[in-house]
Amino acid sequence: MLLDQNRLFPLEGSARGLARALYDQIGGLPIISPHGHTDPRWFAEDAAFADAAQLFVTPDHYVFRMLFSQGVDLDALGVPRADGHAAQRDGRAIWRLFAQNFHLLRGTPSWIWLTHAFAEVFDIHDRLTPQNADALYDRITDSLAQPAFRPRALFARFNIEVLATTESALDDLRWHRMIRDSGWQGRVITAYRPDAVVDPEFDGFVGNLTRLGELTGEDAMTWAGYLAAHRARRAYFIGFGATSSDHGHPTARTENLSAQDAAALFDIVKTGRATAEQADAFRGQMLTEMARMSLDDGLVLQIHAGAWRNHSAPMFAAFGRDKGFDIPTRTDFVRNLKPLLDAYGTDPRLSVIVFMLDETTLSRELAPLAGVYPALKLGPPWWFFDSPEGMRRFRELTTETAGFYNTVGFNDDTRAFCSIPARHDVARRVDCAYLATLCASGRMVEEDAFEVAHDLAYRLAKQAYRL
Amino acid sequence: MLLDQNRLFPLEGSARGLARALYDQIGGLPIISPHGHTDPRWFAEDAAFADAAQLFVTPDHYVFRMLFSQGVDLDALGVPRADGHAAQRDGRAIWRLFAQNFHLLRGTPSWIWLTHAFAEVFDIHDRLTPQNADALYDRITDSLAQPAFRPRALFARFNIEVLATTESALDDLRWHRMIRDSGWQGRVITAYRPDAVVDPEFDGFVGNLTRLGELTGEDAMTWAGYLAAHRARRAYFIGFGATSSDHGHPTARTENLSAQDAAALFDIVKTGRATAEQADAFRGQMLTEMARMSLDDGLVLQIHAGAWRNHSAPMFAAFGRDKGFDIPTRTDFVRNLKPLLDAYGTDPRLSVIVFMLDETTLSRELAPLAGVYPALKLGPPWWFFDSPEGMRRFRELTTETAGFYNTVGFNDDTRAFCSIPARHDVARRVDCAYLATLCASGRMVEEDAFEVAHDLAYRLAKQAYRL
Amino acid sequence: MLLDQNRLFPLEGSARGLARALYDQIGGLPIISPHGHTDPRWFAEDAAFADAAQLFVTPDHYVFRMLFSQGVDLDALGVPRADGHAAQRDGRAIWRLFAQNFHLLRGTPSWIWLTHAFAEVFDIHDRLTPQNADALYDRITDSLAQPAFRPRALFARFNIEVLATTESALDDLRWHRMIRDSGWQGRVITAYRPDAVVDPEFDGFVGNLTRLGELTGEDAMTWAGYLAAHRARRAYFIGFGATSSDHGHPTARTENLSAQDAAALFDIVKTGRATAEQADAFRGQMLTEMARMSLDDGLVLQIHAGAWRNHSAPMFAAFGRDKGFDIPTRTDFVRNLKPLLDAYGTDPRLSVIVFMLDETTLSRELAPLAGVYPALKLGPPWWFFDSPEGMRRFRELTTETAGFYNTVGFNDDTRAFCSIPARHDVARRVDCAYLATLCASGRMVEEDAFEVAHDLAYRLAKQAYRL
């Protein structure tokens, strides 16, 4: 079996046994997925996925970036160019190329996720090789044509209790409306992602402001109207189940300007001529504005900071965004979060979840901050740290200072639908392994470990995201 | 038993057995506590501690910061406000609130320390729960009224060979005098902490200089007189056993200005109108001045750098200092220590002990520096890193480059008296586990491990602090 | 036996067994040493090494820096001063002093390397102590006088398939010529290290340019001539087997200036009056120029960044370079490598190998970059990270994001000849341990692990360095 039943558990016998016992209790709990990027259209239309390559290769930048790093052409993998054109549209050809390079994924979480999905979703228990590539392609592609492999059926089979997608503030949420109107019982909710109208450096920012005004009937070109428009869109999103907003900024900067200074800054940025410094300050101010709105409407505020997006200029020109070229950078939270924390950090009604891409901040900054500010919680390790070692380090670097209860369970944050159960399974196993190790080394009692295991797998995510 | 006899040892059998053997040899050695913040008044007056809450909750910011982070009100925990007023004075009510939230400490060193103290000092072997809160409160509080639980009795029972407290340069050391005059044989010594008269940004700095002059009969408003006053105070502290000075600075900056430039800088800072840059430069210069004085009077120079003190402005206003809001920041030692090291770093007569709050500096900066400069030693991991994982990472990140003999044993650095044996026990266990792992993986021979275990638990602290 | 046959393997039984099986397959493979600093004269002349102290103590700054850090005088260890004078020339006296302080190396990789060399090269299986110092000195020194311990004999005995040395761009490669002319079959090649004529802050830079012109017949004082001279020297080095160039810069900065701007910058730096900023920019520009040349002549481009060389001013004045005072500093690769990567990073014909001295960059910057840019590969952990813990952290911090195939096997990077087999053995064991742990925790299948073990020990180094 490729899929070891005791995978990711401690190797030593007694700790392994306890990890097994912990996992046996919580491994089958429903999945709470409060942050992710699956396409709500899947659940609205419930159409079949096209083929194995469209499911596993073309949309997964973890996979195609690794192949690209070893010289495999993105065109040959069917990754669409910035103009939308995909050079290779033959799924089987893409899959064969993938199979030839599958060894490049050894030791990576993609290998685990794919192996898990092959086994659990498609009952495939062989290693993918050039020799069996065609057979596996046929098996997966044939399965996808069956009703049991449609999005809603898989949603049920994956035991997902709630799944949040992420939509732009300017999105009309048509697919979410279609899901709601369909009478389907699956709980798929949205989240409010206003980067397009908050970040002065976002493509088309000024036009986006105009559109925001149109959508809300507010004069989004005044500071007061702009804030009112956000409030209106937040309410609209809440109407489609949203319990959180989501903010992806290059830095963790926050500001708490006076209303007058904030309005003056807005008057600059709305012209589209903000300097980089003004743009950064405005983003920072808007985090504090969002916190203020959260105190009224209850949305959880998610901040993720520290990515250099689209690092390669020529690749961005040729292939556009989200092609695996978002690179983490050194991040500061101590100075940057202070204005927001001084304003609202001690208010237990507020829930701010911070995500990092710079592990050095965990023990030095984030655990000490989350371990004292009532409003602040630590999001799980994600992106490149959504991995066994990343998760282990996260617990080792945060628990002693922030405990377990200032963390918020797991986020899969994924576009790859079949990886959702695989990723939650990895997180649950790594957490059980960590708890078992604490018990086996006399740092925790087993009775507590069973309770914490349940909290990490299920309860904390529901509580933190108010689900 | 909550307290596993093999806690913190490796899980694998042969390494566990060796760790056990190492610990059996050194676990009972007398405690050398060369740096801490216990109150000398306890040992001077030898009065009973008030109750369980006053012993374990109210003074321990590790405990109350965690409860606060989950929405527990500091007033309700009896933590005094900046004006000294404590809203809740009923120890039993505080203790019940603590018991209701004890689960928040799972996975933290506070859980270990408290469990150790309950078991070893009060013979309590049950988990604290809301149900048994009253019973445990009574048991602890009743015990504290007995002579065997007075400070001097516990000092003896804890097998403390020497305990250093820390006093301001302006302190009259009355309690140390009272201890000395009492004829008690316990060795409680002071340490020279001159931040109040070295840091131009310290509250009341100019007035403090005046007071320094009064205490010493020097004209502390001239550079020469100011230095002479330090020398006099150092001598006074040495008279009460001090073997070290202690400097808590926001950065690790050092300077080595000419006497003329230093005097000119002093003339600015003594007015109370130094810029932030001048203040930082002056603190840096004073570290080098202290090193110079150490060459004469032999005091060990302790530098701890990198904390953002009192991070929350509203909490500082309401509750004052030391309420769990000191947050580590990114720290540089390579550039910052260079002036001091160029001046005195190769002089083996000098002993400079550096502490960090930024673990990234361990393998990159501090181990390489301590592994070559004779004057430089690494202080143990403390604050949030005074923990099993923090200690393990410290050894893993420093030993290969700095060895064991450029480290200085353990510091408990604590205000919580009952945590002293618990903390030293954790350090001894983690070090034995590390040594056993080295042996079991063929990187050390057992004979050497026994010697190093003894060094880390006892000898190095005595030697490094000249005790 | 000091040398445990299962050293550095996992402690738990099944993982240990698999590590053993992996190592049994690859532990005896020939050594590929594509980057190092052994002296080609050894192999040219094949003269006997002088004595035990000259072999193990005097030239090894890992050893003498540790002794110096504990107060041992460099003069007494025979380390030559900047003027070339060595105060102590009696090998036996040096060796005795070394033996007295051998305990300082406990827990360090030097202890492992020395223990390995003593056992494997000199059949010595006792711990070095003051008591047996003379006996061991005699044994080693006597052995060195025998033909079997001459450089070429040891080269064969160490099973070295290829060994690269490193020479300055201005070197005449006389020893490499002598090796070639000797008819000896050992493959010792050079590498092109042009810091002396690339770094405007290098000692004698302007004179070095003149010499570069003389050596090549180009007008090295014009930008075009200077580049042509580099091309000529690269071709010359390629004639002596070079497959790589090597660049040690204080930062990882790269630039991609227009030809006009680059020429203008060169016109400044060639005067010897470049500012620090201009010098840094020029070094950065030259990395991109070297990449451009590599596309023509195929040399692999090695960049190692982030050392503060000769940190102690007085020690540099007294003893000169390379005395253990090179200290790592915080390094940025995301911003700094962008100009080079934008220019050539996606060209799979180019091979850029980046080395780090700041482990925080591994998971945050280098693995994400190497996991997507085809031209970029990660060099192994070296300097202070050429150690069991350093190697383990390297795999744990890079594999999940960059995989195994964006790394390049092991470099010993050493001046200490007898440490070459010891260092490769450590690397092979640590990699086998890591692979065994992946398998035992269900993250890899054994069949793959055997293939990867072979790749890491042998194939990847040959492939990455085009050997």
pLDDT, one tens digit per residue, over B109-126 is 999 999 999 999 999 999
Residue A249: HSE in the Cβ half-sphere, 13 Å Cα cutoff: 31
The CATH code belonging to domain B13-49+150-464 is 3.20.20.140
Question: Smallest CA–CA separation between A397 and chain C, in Å?
Answer: 14
Question: Smallest CA–CA separation between A331 and chain B, in Å?
Answer: 10
Closest of A222, A52, A216 to residue A138, by C-alpha: A52
> What pLDDT does C276 receive?
97
pLDDT (tens digit per residue) in B12-61: 999 999 999 999 999 999 999 999 999 999 999 999 999 999 999 999 99
Length of chain C: 467
What 3-state DSSP class applies to B338? helix
> Which chain B positions have a beta carbon within 8 Å of A375's beta carbon?
none
CB atoms under 10 Å from CB of A321, counted, come to 11
CA trace torsion C287, C292, C297, C302 (10° rounding): 30
d(CA A282, CA A307): 18
d(CA B458, CA B26): 8
Q: What is the mean pLDDT of residues A376-384?
A: 97
Question: Are A13-49+148-464 and A50-147 the same fold in CATH?
Answer: no
Identify the band that residue B1 occupies on the pLDDT scale cut at 50, 70 and 90: low
Please report which residue ranges of B90-246 form alpha helices under DSSP H: 91-100, 109-122, 133-144, 151-157, 174-182, 195-198, 205-216, 223-238
CB atoms under 10 Å from CB of A6, counted, come to 17
The CATH code belonging to domain B50-149 is 1.10.2020.10
Question: Smallest CA–CA separation between B385 and chain C, in Å?
Answer: 18
Sign of CA dihedral C124, C127, C133, C135: negative
Distances (CA, A) of B123 to B143, C62, C158: 10, 50, 61
Instruction: Please say whether the beta carbons of C176 and C236 come within 8 A.
Output: no
pLDDT (tens digit per residue) in B301-337: 999 999 999 999 999 999 999 999 999 999 999 999 9
d(CA A309, CA A12): 41
Identify the band that residue A329 occupies on the pLDDT scale cut at 50, 70 and 90: very high
Judge: C403–A308 Cβ closer than 8 Å, yes or no.
no
Instruction: Please say whether the beta carbons of C333 and C252 come within 8 A.
Output: yes
d(CA C455, CA C451): 6
The fraction of chain A above a pLDDT of 70, given in percent, is 100
CA trace torsion B415, B417, B421, B427 (10° rounding): -10
Which secondary-structure segment (H or E) carries B170? Answer: none
Judge: B311–A452 Cβ closer than 8 Å, yes or no.
no
**Would you state the structure tokens that stand for residue B252, as one six-digit string?**
């690790």
Rg (Cα) of chain B, in Å, rounded? 22
Mean model confidence pLDDT for chain C: 97
Residue C127 has pLDDT above 90, yes or no: yes
Instruction: Please say whether the beta carbons of C126 and C132 come within 8 A.
Output: yes
**Would you state the structure tokens that stand for residue B419, as one six-digit string?**
């945590």
Residue B174: HSE in the Cβ half-sphere, 13 Å Cα cutoff: 4
Judge: B370–C69 Cβ closer than 8 Å, yes or no.
yes
d(CA A230, CA A169): 8
**Sole residue written with tokens 């001084």:** A342
pLDDT (tens digit per residue) in A202-226: 999 999 999 999 999 999 999 999 9
Closest of B238, B244, B212 to residue B225, by C-alpha: B212
Identify the band that residue A2 occupies on the pLDDT scale cut at 50, 70 and 90: confident
Buried b (16+ CB within 10 A) or exposed e, B115-128: bbbbbbbbebeebb
Length of chain B: 467
> What pLDDT does A229 receive?
98
Sign of CA dihedral A211, A216, A219, A221: negative
Which residues, at least 6 apart from A73, have a Cβ–Cβ distance to it below 8 Å? none
Sign of CA dihedral B197, B201, B202, B207: positive
Residue B2 has pLDDT above 90, yes or no: no
Sign of CA dihedral A246, A251, A254, A259: negative
**Would you state the structure tokens that stand for residue A89, as one six-digit string?**
């549209």
Judge: B374–C311 Cβ closer than 8 Å, yes or no.
no
pLDDT (tens digit per residue) in C382-427: 999 999 999 999 999 999 999 999 999 999 999 999 999 999 999 9
Q: Where are the domains of chain B?
A: 13-49+150-464, 50-149
Using CA coordinates, name the residue in chain B closest to C392.
Answer: B396
Adjacency order of strands within the sheet including C160-164: C31-33, C160-164, C188-189
Widest CA span in chain B: 68
Task: Please state which architecture CATH assigns to domain C48-149.
Answer: Orthogonal Bundle (1.10)
Q: What is the mean pLDDT of residues A145-166?
A: 98
Beta strand extents in A16-124 (DSSP E only): 31-33
Judge: B441–C8 Cβ closer than 8 Å, yes or no.
yes
- What string of H, E and C letters represents the secondary structure of chain C? CCCCCCCCCCCCHHHHHHHHHHHHHHCCCCEEECCCCCCHHHHHHCCCCCCHHHHHCCCCHHHHHHHHHCCCCCHHHCCCCCCCCCCCCCHHHHHHHHHHCHHHHCCCHHHHHHHHHHHHHHCCCCCCCCCCHHHHHHHHHHHHCCHHHCHHHHHHHCCEEEEECCEECCCCCHHHHHHHHHCCCCCEECCEECHHHHCCCCCCHHHHHHHHHHHHCCCCCCHHHHHHHHHHHHHHHHHCCCCEEEEEECCCCCCCCCHHHHHHHHHHHCCCCCCHHHHHHHHHHHHHHHHHHHHHHCCEEEEEECEECCCCHHHHHHHCCCCCCCEECCCCCCCCCHHHHHHHCCCCCCCEEEECCCCHHHHHHHHHHHCCCCCEEECCCCHHHCCHHHHHHHHHHHHHHHCCCCECCCCCCCCCCCHHHHHHHHHHHHHHHHHHHHHHCCCCCHHHHHHHHHHHHHHHHHHHCCC
Beta strand extents in A207-358 (DSSP E only): 244-249, 300-305, 307-308, 327-328, 352-355
> What pLDDT does B143 receive?
98
Question: Smallest CA–CA separation between B438 and chain A, in Å?
Answer: 18
**Residue A192 DSSP label:** E
The CATH code belonging to domain C13-47+150-464 is 3.20.20.140
CB atoms under 10 Å from CB of B263, counted, come to 15
| Nearest CB to C368; choose among A11, A315, A328 | A328
Which residues, at least 6 apart from A75, have a Cβ–Cβ distance to it below 8 Å? A81, A86, A87, A88
> What pLDDT does B186 receive?
97
d(CA B443, CA C24): 20
- Nearest-10 crossing angle of helices C13-26, C419-440: 130
Phi and psi of B124, rounded to 5°?
-100, 125
| Nearest CB to A11; choose among C341, C371, C440 | C440
Instruction: Please say whether the beta carbons of C154 and C421 come within 8 A.
Output: no
**Residue B174 DSSP label:** H
Using CA coordinates, name the residue in chain A closest to B328.
Answer: A364
d(CA A432, CA A20): 8
Residue C2 has pLDDT above 90, yes or no: no
Please report which residue ranges of B239-371 form alpha helices under DSSP H: 259-269, 276-297, 313-319, 338-344, 360-361, 367-370
Using a 10 angstrom Cβ sphere, with 0-12 exposed, 13-18 middle and 19 or more buried, the burial of residue B27 is middle
Q: Quick one: A13-49+148-464 is in which CATH superfamily?
A: Metal-dependent hydrolases (3.20.20.140)
d(CA C50, CA C196): 31
**Would you state the structure tokens that stand for residue A107, as one six-digit string?**
């030791």
Residue A1 has pLDDT above 90, yes or no: no
Judge: C373–A8 Cβ closer than 8 Å, yes or no.
no
Distances (CA, A) of A411 to A249, A361, A400, A407: 18, 19, 21, 11
d(CA C307, CA C311): 9
**Would you state the structure tokens that stand for residue A278, as one six-digit string?**
């003004």
Chains that touch B (3 or more CB pairs under 8 A): A, C
Distance from first CA to last CA of chain B, Å, rounded? 37
> Which chain B positions have a beta carbon within 8 Å of C3's beta carbon?
442
Judge: A112–C405 Cβ closer than 8 Å, yes or no.
no
Identify the band that residue C123 occupies on the pLDDT scale cut at 50, 70 and 90: very high
**Residue A363 DSSP label:** I
d(CA B62, CA B79): 13
Residue A320 has pLDDT above 80, yes or no: yes
> What pLDDT does C1 receive?
63
Judge: A111–C405 Cβ closer than 8 Å, yes or no.
no
What 3-state DSSP class applies to A232? helix
Mean model confidence pLDDT for chain B: 97
Judge: C405–A358 Cβ closer than 8 Å, yes or no.
no
What 3-state DSSP class applies to B6? coil
* A50-147: CATH class: mainly alpha
d(CA B73, CA B54): 17
pLDDT (tens digit per residue) in B365-382: 999 999 999 999 999 999
Question: Smallest CA–CA separation between A388 and chain C, in Å?
Answer: 9
Residue A193 has pLDDT above 90, yes or no: yes
Identify the band that residue B201 occupies on the pLDDT scale cut at 50, 70 and 90: very high
